[in-house]
Structure 1
Amino acid sequence: MHKNQKNRREDSFLFTVNEEAELLPFLLDHMKKNSRNSIKSMLTRGQVTVNGRSVTKHNHQLLPGHKVEILANKAALNESKLTGLSIIYEDDAIIVIDKEASLLSMAAKDKNERTAFSEVSAYVRRQDPRQRVFIVHRLDRDTSGILLFARSEQVKVALQDHWDEVVKERVYTALVEGNVRKDSGTIKSWLKETRTYKVYSNPTDNGGQLAITHYKKIRSNRQYSLLEVKLQTGRKNQIRVHMEEIGHPVVGDKKYGSTVNPIKRLGLHATALTIVHPVTKEIMKFESQIPSSFINKSK
């Protein structure tokens, strides 16, 4: 058995290899408290060194006498430099983040403005200056929650070209105005965008894009309702437009009919994303906590 030697320093674990092995199985064997995904993330982030050199390849060959060190807080130090988001999951193919409201996904008019894309790009370049990331889908600036990035153009294309098959479920939480009477419902309409970038809805096909939104009431009071919203289609501003259409605009959404903003932000949060992993084909579900302000206002 390989033995865990005394830590070389407080923020690392040091192991000595006694027999030939590949790096990932070795780490899985020695770090049983950690999940396979968390260990893969450690490798991706460059937290693992062999004989003092950073190694990210899962199948790196270890030989007797090699020293394997895991830097426990290197990722935490790196992530602490992130502003407006946190990393939920990462591996060699994808990075999943939890974005705060008010942060653009990408492509700001002001090139110096921080975006989720610029933050994640800087994050991966701190590990390896040659690294790049590619945004796969977007959230509105004022919508918080789960956002997916690809670590190569090939993975980005694979995800975008097969988005409907890749995405098994997209769940949002919406805080809307008024007491929604129905416990659940489906909204189906066709959406078109005006020249002023406002999306409007039509009950019959007007040449726009078909949009289907399913909702379920979580709780409500006289002033507000908290809804779980599932997208069957993912159109621009779809939830916001559909909530306005049923007479319960998203809180804080002045563009689409809201007249109040007690939470000082848009009441829309991307809570869960379930996908087929583009490489492993494993079904993975990523979740983000519902903002406490949404829950408090709907009690």
Structure 2
Amino acid sequence: MIAVIGLGDLVADPAWRRPILLAEDLLVLVTAGYGRVEVDFHVLPCRPGTLLRVRAGQALRCGPPDLDATVVRWTPAALHGFDVDPEAAPAWLQLTGADGDAVSTGVSQLAVDCARLRGEPATGLFRHQLAVLLLRLALLAESDRATHRPASRSASRTETITFRRLRHELEQRYQYSRRVEDYADRLGCSVRTLTRACLAVTGRSAKQVVDERVALQACRLLAATDEPVARIGHHLGFPEPTNFGRFFTREVGISPGAFRTTSARSARWLEAAEPEPIPAVPTRDVPPLVRPRPPADSAVGRHPDPRT
């Protein structure tokens, strides 16, 4: 349900030549080394004190091989009964100051306890420790958003709830429908309401949000599996390979085959002093309202800008 492992234990290939599709949620605390981690094809800088929140289903690749990290992984059942939203934790943090020390200490203590304690009482302890960590991260993210919120109108609470409901429904049904009307019907609202909520939260229309989610999954499967392109397209609701190819090229900018080839070569980006441009993979799967910003040593919660 909850485990603490080393970064190298996530994958058999120490060179991380290709991304892996995660089956569990992760918190990754970098403890040594300097390098980059690629999450859903976006390269994030890492150094001691960097904390990553990576979700089940995302594509993860790391480098260089000597980057060390403590990894907390869990299944959804671990948080059952807790009033905590794991989606509220930011995708990237550089831990500094007292708040950073508290998060780092929490991760370290969970690692120590997982190593020496066993049995049902210990499982309860681990669940509470994880819930506290995620709540603390959510509070840090909210504080950072409040500090750096732009002067223009931000999404209302109703719009944010509507958008999150759409995201939840989209996760269950993106393989079966790309019609905004279908999602509006299931949520009991109008297409206009969905579009307004998506524009307020992401700056993109509801149709763009839906199509970007499908394209993101296609990118994950192309990069992390050996499934034929036609089979991936069929899995995502495209009976005809040509329709899938046109859709993917429109959304990502290159063909599915070219993307797979590019991804296979891109491990060197993680090693390069200056990473080369990466194809414009959709970023809808980044948690809402958690947008990267340039890091600052004076505060926790500032984000780097490789992701847009």
TM-score (normalizing by structure 2) = 0.25
Q: Which structure exhibits the higher relative contact order, with contacts defined as CA atoms closer than 8 Å and separated by 6 or more residues? A: 2
1 or 2, which has the higher helix percentage?
2
1 or 2, which has the higher strand percentage?
1
Q: Return the index of the structure with the highest Cα Rg.
A: 1
